[in-house]
Amino acid sequence: MRLTAPNVVFAGWMTMLATACAVSTDSHDPSDAPENAPPAPQALLAHEPYPDPSLPVATRVSQILAKMTLDEKLGQMTQPERASVSNADVTNFYIGSVLSGGGSAPSPNNATSWANMYDAYQNAATNTRLGIPLLYGIDAVHGHNNVFGATIFPHNIGLGATRNANLAQQIGRAVAEEVSGTGIDWDFAPCLCVARNDRWGRTYESFGEKPELPSQMAAFITGLQGSSLSASGSVLATAKHYVGDGGTTNGTDQGNTQLNEADLRAIHLPPFREAIARGVGSVMISYSSWNGAKMHGQQYLITNVLKNELGFSGFVVSDYNGIDQIDGQAGFTAAEVRQAINAGIDMVMVPTAWREFISTLRSEVQAGRVPMSRIDDANRRILTKKFELGIFEKPLTDRSYTGTVGNAAHRSIARQAVRESMVLLKNAGNVLPLAKANNKIFVAGKSADNIGNQSGGWTISWQGSSGNITTGTTILQGIRNGAGAGTTVTYNQSGSGIDSSYKVAIAVVGETPYAEGAGDRPNDMGLDSADLNTINTLRNSGVPVVVVLVSGRPLDIASQVPNWNGLVAAWLPGTEGAGVADVLYGDYAPTGKLPMTWMQSASQQPINDGDGKPSLFPFGFGLTYGAPPSRNPYDTIQAESFDGQSGIQTETTTDTGGGQNIGYINPGDSVYYANVDFGATSAVSVTTRLASGAGSGTLQYRLDSATGPVIASTAVSGTGGWQSWTSATANLTASATGRHTVYITFTGPGGDFVNINWFRFAR
């Protein structure tokens, strides 16, 4: 939502004249000017009246589109980077959008400077014949992370560990408010990639390795866009990077995703389907290739699948210089421009060579190699979102939101997200939670008192950096602030000074900041020597050691974990390090679950749930404090209430009682239910509520692992349909007493063969 410039609907020029001093008059080569372009204005002139705002958006778009020249249309499809485009350029070339790349910020870098910059660009955009406002785009991927003092939320890998879609939506709303407070109306987020190889430097931008998690956390889009795009504080969202960026061979950034179409659709497409169902306004294309062909030139996937099959009605934007890569050579050619636009890209992110792009595209259109219908379709999509956002009526920053940047309410949400993202992986001897009172705690590690390290890449700068780069609370500060009466907290980064008088040592170690490209780890994936030396120094004191890993992915630590008393995955928590302390002290019990399978060795990459590779910690693993609650096997256990699974999916059931069942079950799949307490007397039978539409097989009840002892088997044959339910009872063939994890494994000749709604033991 933007503030209305006085009389802007009827082209009030006095407000724009008042800001003329802010509009750059940078010169450019007149040979680059659009054909039939008006001269640079000597005084700011009124633009033509906008279409009646009471009309439907589609009608308004058609009315303004009918008036547009080719050059005005080409300008709408062009997105330069702020450092390469002046306010005068925006006016003279009818630029439709401007972006800030990672780290590209006005000076001083604060919310007010951003708002002033945005308004100057917007005044320049509306100082044209038709007065079409621009969209300003930015990578606010874990908060408004280019802006000093903004709230920095956990990166997506941490949010995936929360499994909390409502929280993701709240974060989306908080980000939208902070972004709106700087004028910006378009966020290049969320990343809906399905990261399948942890070597990839963008793994932390993924909510999880299975499509269900990014699909679930796409609720972030609803938070950004609000109840409607025209609502106060709403920002256009972007589903990225379409499609398959997380599936490249060897996890190479911008690499080649080698999959058949069925697997591409099954693994990488579902989050985009969910984004479209949520009304996402834009989709950004991936740098990566699919079976050797760059996505930026893929007409089949962009037009046929995304726009036609999935019904995406927003606009498609390229990635930064993305069209340059189609032929594998530096820079773009006319052939690349033609292929990208004809493939279905509507707006091109062309940060510096934008004049050349406009000239090239104009020539391609005039030669008939890019049809005018394609140009009109792109403009119709872009203009639709501009009208829906309400920026024609309210183009300037809504400064009522400027004060929300980094405010206490948003930091509180971020702190909640941090504590819900913590995954407790080991807790030998119940070393956690820490006693708050009368304790003696030693803290060490390079990431304990480092806001840059705990925030990771895409923070203030593109790659991020270590150190005191923005405002917030470090993990060490959180630990100190949370200490109670009689507790001392001592810190030394290397561990120097620890002795046996301490009751516990906390090592906060892991990765230093990186973003794509620089973040790929094709070789070693372990801790560096400084981290290992720090941990060894702590261990040599004889004090119990808890390791807090600050990292953008699982690390290769299997050989060290046996020597640690506790292990917590903190991911990249952002600026609110007190959320880590909340969990360490037990103010909140850990609830996070792994969004990625944790490797035993880097040589296993890629490793993912269901691939049969043994893990150090499986997908979905996560401990909590105290004795876990038990399940009563003699009550009905709903099948969808599993604690972990491999290969199965959930779906809505029409069986009595409704709810969900598990299905799409093939031989080799499994599902398990933890802490099932049979008591002192063994169960004698188990009843399974099942349905089968095809095939046959056997389901086996086992104890404590997928290869544990079989205690019962139930044969499955067709029941007449996938929702034609029957109850099958099998006698136990082995005793079951005490507390166990109950696994159900599936065998058979092949293919999907059974759905399960619930099961219940009897004695």
Using the predicted structure, report yes or no on whether residue 14 has a pLDDT greater than 60: no
CA 565 – CA 571 distance, rounded (Å): 19
In this model, does residue 488 exceed pLDDT 50? Answer: yes
Phi, psi torsion values for 335, nearest 5 degrees: -65, -40
Residues 234 and 304 in one domain: yes
For residue 437, what is the domain's CATH number? 3.40.50.1700
Is the same domain home to 290 and 327? yes
Fill in the DSSP letter of residue 681: S
Place of tokens 């980064």: 493
Tokens of 87: 């306010």
Residue 356 resides in a domain = yes
Question: Exposed (0-12), middle (13-18) or buried (19+): which is 485, by Cβ within 10 Å?
Answer: exposed
Among residues 156, 142, 158, the alpha carbon closest in space to that of 549 is found at 158
What is d(CA 506, CA 443) in angstroms, rounded to the nearest whole number?
A: 5
Q: How confident is the model over 308-312, as a mean pLDDT?
A: 98
Q: What pLDDT does 46 receive?
A: 67
pLDDT tens digits, 385-425: 999 999 999 999 999 999 999 999 999 999 999 999 999 99
- Regarding whether 754 and 699 lie in a shared domain, the answer is yes
Residues 344 and 481 in one domain: no
Q: Check residue 279 and give its pLDDT.
A: 98
**Is the model more confident about 583 or about 12?**
583
**550 sits in which H/E element:** strand 545-550
Look up residue 222 and give its two tokens: 């609803």
Please name every residue paired with 143 in a beta bridge, in sequence order, or none if there are none.
Answer: 152
Reduced 3-state DSSP string for 126-186: HCCCCCCCCEEEECCCCECCCCCCCCECCCHHHHHHHCCHHHHHHHHHHHHHHHHCCCCCE
Mean pLDDT over 112-139 rounds to 98
CATH number of the domain that 648 lies in?
Answer: 2.60.120.260
Whether the per-residue pLDDT at 27 is higher than 50: the answer is no
The secondary structure element, H or E, covering residue 79 is strand 78-79
Contact 502, 495 (CB under 8 A): no
Please say if the pLDDT value at position 5 is more than 70: no
Tens of pLDDT, residues 204-227: 999 999 999 999 999 999 999 999
Contact 317, 238 (CB under 8 A): yes
The active-site residue out of 319, 520, 582, 669 is 319
pLDDT of residue 625: 97
Residues 239 and 344 in one domain: yes
Residue 652 maps to a domain: yes
Q: 174 is in which domain, residue-wise?
A: 135-403
Q: Which of 516, 582, 640, 643 is catalytic?
A: 516
pLDDT at 326: 98
- Report the pLDDT value the prediction gives residue 515, as an integer from 0 to 100: 98
pLDDT, residue 19, reads: 32
Give the position of tokens 């692992």: 705
519 and 661 in a single domain? The answer is no
Question: According to the model, what pLDDT value does residue 16 have?
Answer: 30
Tokens of 383: 């203009």
| Cα–Cα distance for residue pair 746/670, rounded to 1 Å | 6
Mean pLDDT, range 532-540, rounded to an integer: 98
| Domain-located, residue 66 | no
**Is 748 inside any structural domain?**
yes
Dist. CA 392–CA 387, nearest whole Å: 6
Judge whether residue 534 has pLDDT over 80. yes
Give the Cβ contact number of residue 4 at 10 Å: 15
Beta strands 293-294 and 256-257, pairing class: unpaired
> For the packed helices 57-67 and 372-389, what is the interaxial angle rounded to 10 degrees?
130
Residue 118: pLDDT band (50, 70, 90) is very high
Pick the last residue of a domain from 561, 583, 604: 604
Q: Last residue of a domain, which of 354, 375, 403?
A: 403
pLDDT at 44: 40
Pair 376, 479 in one domain: no
SS3 string, 560-587, reads CHHHCCEEEEEECCCCECHHHHHHHCCC
Q: What are phi and psi of 623, to 5 degrees?
A: -90, 170
Residue 310 CA to residue 272 CA, distance in Å, equals 9
> Do the beta carbons of residue 323 and residue 345 sit within 8 Å?
yes
pLDDT at residue number 22? 34
User: How do residues 63-93 score in pLDDT, each as one tens digit?
Assistant: 999 999 999 999 999 999 999 999 999 999 9
Q: What is the 3-state secondary structure (H, E, C) of 458-525?
A: CECECCCCCCCCCCCECHHHHHHHHCCCCCEEEECCCCCCCCCCCCEEEEEEECCCCCCCCCCCCCCC
Over 70: is that where the pLDDT of 26 sits?
no
H-helix or E-strand spanning residue 238: strand 238-242
Q: What is the pLDDT of residues 692-744, one digit of tens each?
A: 999 899 999 999 989 999 999 999 999 999 999 999 999 999 999 999 999 99
In single-letter form, the type of residue at position 142 comes to H
Residue type (1 letter), 529: S
Asked whether residue 62 is domain-assigned, the answer is: no
Q: Would you state the structure tokens that stand for residue 480, as one six-digit string? A: 């100190």
Which amino acid makes up residue 374? R
Is position 65 within any domain?
Answer: no
The answer to whether residue 432 is domain-embedded is yes
Q: What pTM did the predictor assign?
A: 0.83
Mind listing the pLDDT tens digit for each residue in 259-283? 999 999 999 999 999 999 999 999 9
Share of the chain above pLDDT 90, in %: 89
- Quick one: pLDDT at residue 660? 87
Q: Is the pLDDT of residue 518 over 70?
A: yes
Rounded mean pLDDT of 496-506? 98
pLDDT band at residue 12, thresholds of 50, 70 and 90? very low
**Phi and psi at residue 673, to the nearest 5°:** -135, 115
Q: Are residues 354 and 450 in the same domain?
A: no
Q: Judge whether residue 289 has pLDDT over 50.
A: yes
Mean predicted confidence (pLDDT) in 41-53: 68
Say whether pLDDT at 23 is over 50. Answer: no
Above 70 in pLDDT, residue 647? yes
Are the C-beta atoms of residues 178 and 405 closer than 8 Å to each other?
yes
Of 373, 403, 433, which one is at a domain's C-terminal end? 403
In a shared domain, residues 517 and 655? no
364 catalytic residue (yes or no): no
Number of domains composing the chain: 3
The predicted model gives 499-507 an average pLDDT of 98
> How many other C-beta atoms lie within 10 A of the C-beta of residue 300?
13
383 assigned to some structural domain: yes
- HSE-CB of 300 using CA atoms within 13 angstroms: 4
Cα-to-chain-centroid distance, residue 688: 38
d(CA 430, CA 451): 29
Residue 369: which residues within 8 A CB-CB, separation 6 or more?
338
- Based on the fold, state whether residues 369 and 452 are members of the same structural domain: no
Active site includes 81?
no
Q: What is the CA angle 337-339-343, rounded to 5?
A: 120
* Mean pLDDT, rounded, for 613-635: 92
Mean pLDDT for 160-184 is: 98
The answer on pLDDT for 648 being more than 90 is no
Alpha-carbon span 81 to 88, nearest angstrom:
14
Same domain for 700 and 737, yes or no, is yes
Looking at the structure, do residues 350 and 427 belong to the same domain, yes or no?
no
Q: Mean pLDDT lowest for which of 11-15, 54-58, 547-551, 617-621?
A: 11-15
The domain that holds 272 is classified in CATH as 3.20.20.300
Query: Is pLDDT of 652 > 60?
Result: yes
